[in-house]
Amino acid sequence: MPYQTPYDLLSSGKSQWNTWRQTDYDVQALEPDLHKKDLHDQDLQKIDFHHADLTEANLQGADLRGANLRDADLRHVNLKNANLSYAKLQKACLRGADLRGADLSHANLAGADFSNADLRGASLEDVNITKTIFSAAKRDAIATPQRR
């Protein structure tokens, strides 16, 4: 396959994207650059975004159920009303992210950094928050995480 940018490949479909991430040895360690990309309202269930650069991306309303976002750079990303239930966010950087109204239920947030993130109205039911950082994060009563 001729070289495509990560965004072009993602536009081809999540199945092609995941196959590329899992089978091409050279890209397994690659940090795909999706900086500032508009992926709002996309069906990205079970997408493999581990180590991806999604800084300042628009993922508002995206369906990221079961997505692999381990070690992803999600600084200042728009995740308003996104569905991140059952997502893997271990050691992800979400500093300054907008997660208002997002569904993070049953997600693994172990070691993630939510410093200065906006979590107002987010669902954090039954999440793993072991070593998770919430420094200066905006939260309300609904967004009170429960330790497992």
Query: What is the pTM (predicted TM-score) of this model?
Result: 0.87
Q: Residue 142: its pLDDT value, please?
A: 47
What are the pLDDT digits (tens) for 99-145?
999 999 999 999 999 999 999 999 999 999 999 999 999 987 544 55
Whether residue 135 lies inside any domain: the answer is yes
Which pair of tokens denotes residue 135?
Answer: 């420094």
Q: Residue 147: its pLDDT value, please?
A: 54
Q: Which among 87, 99, 131 has a CA at the least distance from the CA of 112?
A: 131
What are the pLDDT digits (tens) for 24-46?
656 555 788 999 999 999 999 99
Q: Domain containing 136 — which CATH number?
A: 2.160.20.80
Q: Which among 57, 110, 101, 97 has a CA at the least distance from the CA of 83?
A: 101
Whether residue 26 lies inside any domain: the answer is no
Whether residue 137 lies inside any domain: the answer is yes
Task: Determine the structural domain holding residue 125 and report its residue range.
Answer: 31-148
Whether residue 43 lies inside any domain: the answer is yes
* Dihedral sign, Cα of residue 54, residue 62, residue 118, residue 48: negative
Q: Which among 121, 122, 85, 123 has a CA at the least distance from the CA of 106?
A: 85
* pLDDT at 1 > cutoff 50: no
What's phi and psi for 38, nearest 5 deg?
Answer: -95, 105
